[in-house]
Amino acid sequence: MEFFTSADIPLMTKLLEVVYILIGIICLYTALRNLFDKKNPSPFGTSLFWGSVGIVIAFGRWIPNFANGVLILIMSASAILRLVKQGKDLAPTPEQTKASFERIGMKIFLPALSIGLFSLIFALIGWNALVGTGFGVLVAMVLLFLFAKENRPKVFFDDAARFLSIVGPTSMLPPLLAVLGSVFTLAGVGDVIADIVGRFIPAGNVNIGIVVYALGMVIFTMIMGNAFAAITVMTVGIGAPFVLAYGANPVVTVMLALTCGYCGTLLTPMAANFNIVPVAILDMKDKMGVIKAQIFPAIFMIVFQIIYMIIFKQVNV
């Protein structure tokens, strides 16, 4: 309790930790459900995965780093060995879905809207947006209970467990990739890239530097699955020494480079939350269907962003 009672720790940091604890509890609930689910072909492996995830997310701040590392290895091993399976389907029947829609109607969109709305409000007033998301979820739960009295806490826990089971280990890919980006930065990968690229880019040719910077963002984002993980490494390795150092506007250049990274997000299964999670939730037959539909828009936007960067690189904003 010392963490939550300390006057030296900001309120938003404490509230963010509460959000993590709630997420961890949901993962632990998912672990227990799968452990006692007779329809799950791998109850122990599935429970081990979600239990490890839940402990790290909820209590990782207070347990030793070595223990966190062991739990992450256990989590990874369960996923690699394909021991994480989906158990009993808790989805409502078509009849139940139809009856709920007839009773609630289009008001069902209000809870979903509240999540994004409170995230935006918290961000605009300078508070943590993730805390706003958590607060929006609580508001959504209250609204859903008011719409239908059967929406009790167990219903929310069961639905959360169901969606986690549908997505499976893929749900852990975005945070792991974000961590990997930090590791790359601390390991000096950007400096290594700068050394390699410096052998091929003519000194002072900003336009070629922009092209390499933009394409590097696309490729590295496809590898990392996250443009935010790529932007630091690519800016240190290419953007700063070969573009910004020769007078290009940093706001325009880096902003557009990040957008180029988003184009890479459209083209990679590593961006699991965008390209793999929808496939799992919608049970699409073509596992690469989302990516295939995004190839042409991504290529068009990459070319457009590069031209845009070259034209406006010297514009002051």
Question: Tens of pLDDT along 198-216?
Answer: 777 776 788 888 999 999 9
Longest Cα–Cα distance in the chain:
68
Prediction pTM value = 0.74
Q: At 109, list the tokens.
A: 């969109």
Confidence band for 248, pLDDT divided at 50, 70 and 90: confident
The span from the CA of 82 to the CA of 174, in Å, is 19
pLDDT in the model for residue 51? 95
The Cα-based distances of 89 to 38, 40, 82, 166, 245 in angstroms read 12, 10, 19, 9, 56
Which DSSP symbol is given to 157?
A: H
277: tokens are: 């999670």
More confident of the two residues 188 and 301: 301
Per-residue confidence band for 315, with pLDDT thresholds at 50, 70 and 90: low
**124 C-beta neighbours (distance < 10 Å), count:** 10
Q: How far is CA 221 from CA 7, 178, 237, in A?
A: 39, 11, 14
